Chain A
Amino acid sequence: MNLLGRLKPKSREGSLAIILLVAIGGTGLINNRFLTGDGTRDLLASTSVVALLAIGIAPIVIMRHIDLSIASTVGLSAWFVADMSAKNPDFTWVQCFIVGPIIGVLVGILNGLLVAGLRLPSLVVTLGTLYIVRGLVYVISNSVDYNAQEMPTSLIDDLGQKVFFGLLPLTFSLVVIIMIIMALYMKYTQAGRDCYAIGSNPPAAELVGLKVFRRTFLAFVFSGFMAGLAGVFYLMRFAQVDSTAFYGQELAVVAAVVIGGVTIFGGSGTVVGAVIGALLVQTIQGGLAALGVDAFWKSAINGLLLIIAIYADRVLAVRSEKQLLGQRIKERN
């Protein structure tokens, strides 16, 4: 085997990481502010919310479902936490980290019951809850918005601004810890493996006696939990919130997950890939801004990236299928 072949990454995550490094390096060469400590810190901090959500929906997408309600849940959680801490001056970061996820879990339970319990298509159900949850934010917020002064300083200033080694924001290190735990869980536990089995072939998973209801239900609760947590992260990052917070960002998260190699048809992909996907999307966005591309084109670039990712995914799937087929034919001869 030649050197190049040996250098070729074995996994999807490996190739993604290389693309990510190339993207970061390339932008850094043209605009050197991008590679400074400030630039890196900013990139990591602004990826945190999307990365959390990507970890949250990765198991769902692996199970061939989808959760579109997450962005609305982020808005609800963020607004609710801000509202409660504005009304209770003795609120600290601890209460924030309790209230936010609880709200997320409630939404997750609703989604889970409808999808797993009634077996309704997750796309339609979570479209419905996307509306309902966002509507709730509109109604309860009554167009009131909150700024940094009304939120606990222990959350916004102490934790939100905390950076390790001048590079690594606290928020992103939490994301990495959660990512590692989830990656191990998905790889080494029965429940994690079940997700892949259910996603590759739902009827077969049911026939061999996997607990499809419980796994699906808990996956939606987990995604809700992460969305609730992401709401608190949103406050830590932006230090302000109104009723349209994080509006319409669910597609950016889906794009990140798909770009990260989690197939939309279920059954393959990893949590690590999802986080790298989120980083990649953010890098390209930030990179284009650093290169002076008009912000109006942002959504077009997002869409194009997503389509390219889906296409690459399809090409890879077809190729590996052909390889497997070739192998089998060889074995038979």
Chain B
Amino acid sequence: MPNFPKIVQVRKSWDTAILVLLLTVLILASLTTEGFLTALNFSYIFSNTSEITIIAFAMLFMIIMGEIDLSVASILALGSAMLGWSYAKGAPIWLSILICILVGTLCGLINGFLVTKLGLGSLAVTIGTLALYRGVANGILGENTVNEFPEFWTSFGFDTIGTSFMPKTLPLIIFFGIMFGILLHRTPFGRRTLAIGQSPEAARFAGVNIIRHKMIVFTFTGFMSGIAGVVYTFRFSTAQADNGVGIELLVISAILLGGVSIFGGIGTMWGVVAGVLLAGSVESWLTLREINAQWRTIVTGLLLLLSVAAPVLVQKSRNRRERKALKS
């Protein structure tokens, strides 16, 4: 493929573009808005994006592999509902947390089973399980909410470490970030993920066990959604069935903003981190400028469109320039 190096170049430049964009937003926001460049605000940004970041680490592998999981927010809700339900029924808190994470992993396993063993399309299946898991959460909790949790755990959700600006959840996120970063960029598992995304056929001929690989990725996406369920529950100190509605779209748009190709095969961990931070900073900027929450829905949509359109437009203009250069 003669075109191949060109695509990689554009992707690389989009990776850098996102960093420049992030810096621009940070600088502009700090200059124009009082209270943006404060420790407290950054603490908010980190803490508001915690579930999105946690899920995004796993979803990154999913999208690189050319699959998608739209059910993550519902897994979060089902985990959270189970956590609240079992705790309200008298289970010790550690058991409830364990249940939440296990339920998440199980949901991921079910997704993986449907996609790999039954050979169904991940997009359609996870639209189905999105409704299914959320529905089960609804069935378990109904309109009830559980919001009496031990203070130790709720403070883990929204307090900062000592007097610093770091939320208590930050070390957890950094830990997962490093783990998944190493997994993607420094291990055979990561290389295989990229290979499957580039060309599943070629990967299969090269001896990659695609079914097992996809199964693992679906399962740990469920696991991470379960973890996000725990964080969400304690951050808002509430377990209810409509926890985290629509988060799947925020996760996907943050990942695409980070330069990961929706067609699979291309993506980096630091791109995703930049994407999440960009989305979080824009959100916080809008909040501080007291721009209506309603406008933020529009901004999310625009960011998502921008994230897919920008690389294509860059490529198109580059092609045109090259054609002109060839002509002259």
Contact = CB atoms under 8 A, between A and B. Distances in A.
Interface of A: 66, 114, 118-121, 123-125, 127-136, 138-139, 248, 251, 254-255, 258, 264-265, 294, 296-304, 306-307, 310-311, 314
Contact of B123 (A123, A139, A248): A123
B308 A303 contact: no
Contact of B138 (A118, A133, A248, A296): A296
B139 A254 contact: no
Contacts of B125: 307, 310
A136 B301 CA distance: 11
Given A139-B292, A296-B142, A300-B135, A265 B298 contact: no
A134 B298 CA distance: 8
Contact of A128 (B114, B120, B127, B305): B305
A310 B131 CA distance: 14
A302 B133 CA distance: 11
B119 interface: yes
Contact of B135 (A121, A264, A303): A303
A302 B68 CA distance: 20
Contacts of B302: 128, 132
B284 to A, nearest CB: 18
A296 B296 CA distance: 29
Contact of B132 (A127, A296, A304): A304
A303 B120 contact: no
23 contacts: A124-B252, A124-B305, A127-B253, A128-B253, A129-B305, A131-B300, A131-B304, A134-B297, A135-B298, A139-B292, A139-B298, A248-B245, A264-B121, A265-B121, A296-B139, A296-B142, A296-B241, A297-B135, A304-B132, A306-B124, A307-B120, A310-B120, A310-B121
Contacts, number: 141
A2 B75 CA distance: 49
Given A131-B304, A255-B128, A307-B129, 8 more contacts: A121-B263, A135-B297, A135-B300, A296-B143, A298-B138, A304-B132, A306-B124, A306-B131
Contacts of A121: 262-263, 308
Contacts of A294: 139, 142
A132 B298 contact: yes
Nearest to A69: B301
Contact of A303 (B128, B295, B300): B128
Contacts of A307: 114, 120, 125, 128-129, 132
Contact of B124 (A128, A264, A296): A264
A114 B123 CA distance: 20
Nearest to A66: B123
A254 B127 contact: yes
Interface of B: 68, 114, 118-121, 123-125, 127-136, 138-139, 142-143, 241, 245, 249, 252-253, 256, 262-263, 292, 294-302, 304-305, 308-309, 312-313
Given A127-B252, A135-B294, A310-B124, A297 B131 contact: no
A131 B298 contact: yes
Max count, chain A CB within 10 A of own CB: residue among B120, B124, B299, B313: B124
Contacts of B298: 131-132, 135-136, 139
A265 B241 CA distance: 32
A310 B132 CA distance: 14
A255 to B, nearest CB: 7
Given A118-B309, A300-B135, A310 B128 contact: yes
A50 to B, nearest CB: 14
A258 B142 contact: no
B52 to A, nearest CB: 15
A66 B68 CA distance: 15
Contacts of A303: 128-135
Closest CB pairs A-B (n = 9):
A300-B135, A131-B301, A303-B132, A303-B131, A135-B298, A135-B297, A299-B135, A138-B294, A132-B301
A120 B312 contact: yes
Nearest to A317: B119
B304 A299 contact: no
